[in-house]
């Protein structure tokens, strides 16, 4: 397993620091707490085994905010084939005032039509009753097999069981209940030093496309005891998701179920005003947290030997975006990354192919390529470089590609994983 991965059991080996990528330095005002530090004030969680996973592992998670006036924000998959929990959450929830998360693994409740919506609504109602809130305050999230119907009775039983186990340090069990084939947990408990005082920020996150027998659904639940206006929560979550989960690709496959939810209890008594220094500080913490989580998702999977960052600069926002995605999703670039092969011709090919349309009269694209700071291609043509140094550099755990397109002013990045034998094994040899 890549050194990016954590241990399956945090107690068996010395825990790795959460901020472990060179691409995400921990902000100075952010302190990592112990894995068992518990949730921010105002939150309780639980995870129970309700029989959705054949393994008997926890598969129904419940997370409750007990604060009188919680504030929240949410983001969902942009797919045009959203799963039932996404549709129900988007259309029936007060997304800026959520009190409860009901999450399950083992069934995505996707491609299930009208019945899937009814099933989702039933579980939403059951969770609302169990927590004593309105159904519109319960956000739903599911991950697992597409095209299977949700076992509603089992989920409802799980909800009742989970209610009796809700506790402030239930985040570890909640985390287990949202994982599918994640090789390591993606969970953090942070303390953030704001100007107005310290606040807590926690995350439970799931996503492991490289080894998922289905596909790369990502779920992320975030809690803070800071007090935020709904607009501030929405702004911070929106900006940080764009810079993290939106910039990660395991296999270029957008899920039917992606969901990210930020909940703010306000229980710390520390208020974060809009456009204040504290908003900036909390935003920096949330940004680092989500970027590291995105990188952990990319790094997950027994097959993920290496991860990479491709940064593209040029004159047009759309062009740099298309080029970066093309490199990140090219099976040839990803296979070379896996093999530790400095085969940069594939980068030129991927960029050229993605920006296709250069017909007669169009000059060839003047693309620059640098790998780990070593320039190998200038204006579309090979230049001399230290082949031995490059060969060494691409065998490290993290590899950085920088691509220059004509023009200036636009810049983007995408984090991606390699293409491994295990990806094929798990996704080919698994049968529904």
Positions marked catalytic? 217
Q: Does 415 bind a second copy (CB under 8 A)?
A: no
What residues form DSSP beta bridges with 143?
A: 105
Q: Does 418 bind a second copy (CB under 8 A)?
A: yes
Applying CB under 8 A, among 316, 343, 374, 393 the residue interacting with a second copy is: 343
The DSSP-derived string for 292-331 is HHHHHHHH-STT---EEEEEEEES-HHHHHHHHHHHHH-H
Applying CB under 8 A, among 59, 251, 278, 300 the residue interacting with a second copy is: 251
Give least dist CB 211 to a second copy, A: 12
Residue 339 carries which DSSP code? H
For 270, how many CA atoms within 13 A lie in the half-sphere containing its CB? 24
Q: Does 336 bind a second copy (CB under 8 A)?
A: yes
Tell me which residues in 147-186 interact with a second copy (CB under 8 A). 147-149
Beta carbon nearer to a second copy, 38 or 135: 135
Tell me which residues in 204-243 interact with a second copy (CB under 8 A). 214-215
For 385, how many CA atoms within 13 A lie in the half-sphere containing its CB? 22
Q: Does 335 bind a second copy (CB under 8 A)?
A: yes
Q: Does 341 bind a second copy (CB under 8 A)?
A: yes
Residue with the two structure tokens 């070593």:
374
Q: Does 389 bind a second copy (CB under 8 A)?
A: no
Instruction: Answer for the pair 66, 103: CB distance below 8 angstroms, yes or no.
Output: no
Please name which of 146, 183, 181, 132 lies closest in space to residue 5, comparing C-alpha atoms: 183
User: Helix H segments across 132-200?
Assistant: 152-163, 171-178
Beta carbon nearer to a second copy, 7 or 354: 354
Q: Does 275 bind a second copy (CB under 8 A)?
A: no
Give least dist CB 161 to a second copy, A: 28
Q: Does 249 bind a second copy (CB under 8 A)?
A: no
Applying CB under 8 A, among 356, 373, 384, 388 the residue interacting with a second copy is: 356
What residues form DSSP beta bridges with 103?
A: 61, 141
Beta carbon nearer to a second copy, 172 or 210: 210
Q: Which two tokens stand for residue 177?
A: 């209940």
Tell me which residues in 76-115 interact with a second copy (CB under 8 A). 77-82, 87, 90-91, 108, 110-115
Give least dist CB 419 to a second copy, A: 6
Which residues, other chains included, contact 139 with Cβ-Cβ below 8 Å and sequence gap of 6+?
Answer: 72, 74, 89, 93, 95, 98, 100, 101, 102, 259, 261
Q: Does 429 bind a second copy (CB under 8 A)?
A: yes
């Amino acid at each position: 397993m890549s050194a990016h991965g954590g241990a399956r059991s945090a107690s068996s080996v010395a825990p790795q620091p959460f901020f472990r990528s060179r691409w995400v330095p921990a902000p100075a005002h952010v302190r990592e707490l112990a894995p068992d530090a518990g949730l921010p004030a105002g939150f309780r969680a639980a995870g129970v085994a309700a029989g959705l996973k054949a393994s008997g592992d926890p598969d129904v998670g419940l997370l409750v905010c007990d604060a009188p006036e919680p504030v929240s924000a949410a983001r969902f998959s942009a797919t045009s084939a959203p799963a039932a929990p996404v549709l129900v959450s988007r259309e029936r929830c007060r997304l800026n005032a959520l009190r409860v998360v009901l999450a399950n693994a083992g069934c995505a409740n996707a491609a299930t039509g009208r019945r899937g919506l009814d099933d989702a609504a039933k579980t939403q109602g059951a969770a609302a009753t169990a927590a004593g809130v309105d159904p519109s305050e319960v956000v739903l999230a599911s991950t697992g097999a597409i095209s299977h119907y949700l076992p509603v009775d089992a989920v409802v039983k799980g909800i009742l069981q989970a209610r009796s186990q809700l506790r402030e340090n239930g985040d570890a069990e909640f985390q287990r209940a949202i994982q599918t084939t994640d090789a390591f947990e993606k969970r953090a408990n942070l303390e953030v030093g704001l100007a107005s005082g310290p606040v807590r920020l926690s995350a439970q996150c799931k996503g492991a496309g490289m080894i998922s027998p289905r596909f790369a659904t990502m779920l992320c639940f975030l809690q803070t005891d800071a007090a935020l206006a709904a607009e501030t929560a929405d702004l911070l979550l929106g900006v940080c998701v764009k810079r993290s989960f939106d910039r990660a690709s395991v296999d270029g496959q957008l899920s039917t179920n992606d969901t990210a939810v930020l909940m703010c209890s306000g229980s710390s008594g520390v208020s974060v005003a809009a456009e204040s220094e504290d908003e900036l500080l909390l935003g920096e913490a949330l940004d680092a947290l989500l970027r590291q989580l995105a990188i952990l998702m990319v790094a997950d999977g027994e097959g993920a030997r290496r991860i990479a960052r491709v940064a593209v600069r040029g004159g047009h926002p759309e062009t740099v975006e298309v080029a970066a995605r093309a490199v990140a999703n090219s099976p040839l670039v990803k296979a070379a990354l896996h093999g530790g092969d400095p085969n940069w011709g594939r980068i030129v090919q991927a960029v050229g192919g993605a920006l296709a349309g250069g017909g007669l009269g169009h000059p060839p694209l003047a693309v620059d390529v640098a790998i780990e700071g070593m320039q190998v291609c200038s204006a579309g043509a090979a230049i001399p470089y230290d082949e031995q140094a490059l060969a060494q550099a691409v065998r490290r755990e993290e590899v950085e590609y920088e691509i220059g397109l004509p023009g200036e002013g636009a810049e983007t990045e995408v984090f991606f994983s390699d293409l491994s034998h295990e990806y094929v094994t798990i996704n080919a040899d698994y049968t529904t």
